[in-house]
Structure 1
Amino acid sequence: MVGITNQTKNNIIALTIKTIDKSGYTNISLRKLASELNLTTGAFYKHFSTKEQLFSDVTVKLSKNIANEAVKDLNTTDIPENQILHLAYSLLNQYQEHPNIMDFLFFNPSSQSTISEPTNDFEYLNLIDHLITELIMNKHLSKDKNTLFIQLWSFIQGYGSLIKNNSIQLDKNLIQATLNDFLKE
């Protein structure tokens, strides 16, 4: 029975991700999701007591998917700057290919609370954080780790939003030049 329960929960998460990717998250109906999976509303609530709990679990799943996609071709023996650039390119490609997913992941209140938890499961942020620490140590930078993290993350988020809204196209040279500017003392 546990295997069926976990499979049902995974099916709900997968359908939610598919729905978000297609039409966004703001109008998701738990009743519609349950109906599409031939579940009663009661059966749905056995797995997720609220929409926020579902969205939190979806955030964790998407984070793992994006992190796995980003590290798939990551050369972990490369210098931290190049690894950060690779991760930035990967995330910004997600903004181009899956704008609704990225909107959900970074801007819905349930995801924001999941991401901001001290022991968050948002692997992508953990990867960036680790690489920034390595970068500061390797380059003997006097720049504060949190400052550099905020600069990089703000740039990636802002640039991603512009890409998502079709205001600009991804420019790898701009990303590299911006990282270089952030690393100047």
Structure 2
Amino acid sequence: MAESLPVHSWPAARERIAGLPAFGEAPLVISVATPDTQQRDQARTLIRAAVSDALGLLFDLPAASIRLDAVPGRPLRADAGGRMLSVSISHEAGLSVAALSPVGQVGIDIMRLPEDFSWEPVARDYLDPDAFHRIAHAPPPERMHAFAVEWTRLEAGLKCVGTGLAERSPALQARLAQCAMRRLDLPSGYAGMLAYMPESLNRFAAKPA
């Protein structure tokens, strides 16, 4: 199972973030509570404001100076005083999250735990056999959580390697295997995963100040 990663709830985590080094061994993940609806406009506004606030604190810049570059079909990027960072955002009703990385691509995905449904057909088409096995062998009360973990693992990995949802293939699995995965510590009722390229982040962390 992937190691867990803390998620910094915004704005409660502002003081804690202000005391952190810019980045450690994994990308920084923040979350904001959002309206309990599938409408995303307000959620997008809230999480983007939190991203700007967090980067402003990390780099000692005014939040208003942080520029988020959103180009259709391309990953979101943040410009923090000339420092370009990769940003990945995911929304569910009631919660939005963002992952911030100074180097390499990053992917994040969350899911509100679904009601029990016939998960087998979609899992066979898109998930690898090990993931299918983990879901199938989870105790029945935990099966939807197991599905959500595996599905968000896939979606986060796809964002990390920069490709859309596609049926399982050896070539795709090889690309996804390059990503490091961390399970997100989220409120009850949600599951989520983070995917990132560990080698590039390790090189960044090793640079002298």
* TM-score, with structure 2 as normaliser: 0.26
The structure that is strand-richer by fraction is: 2
* TM-score, with structure 1 as normaliser: 0.29
The structure that is helix-richer by fraction is: 1
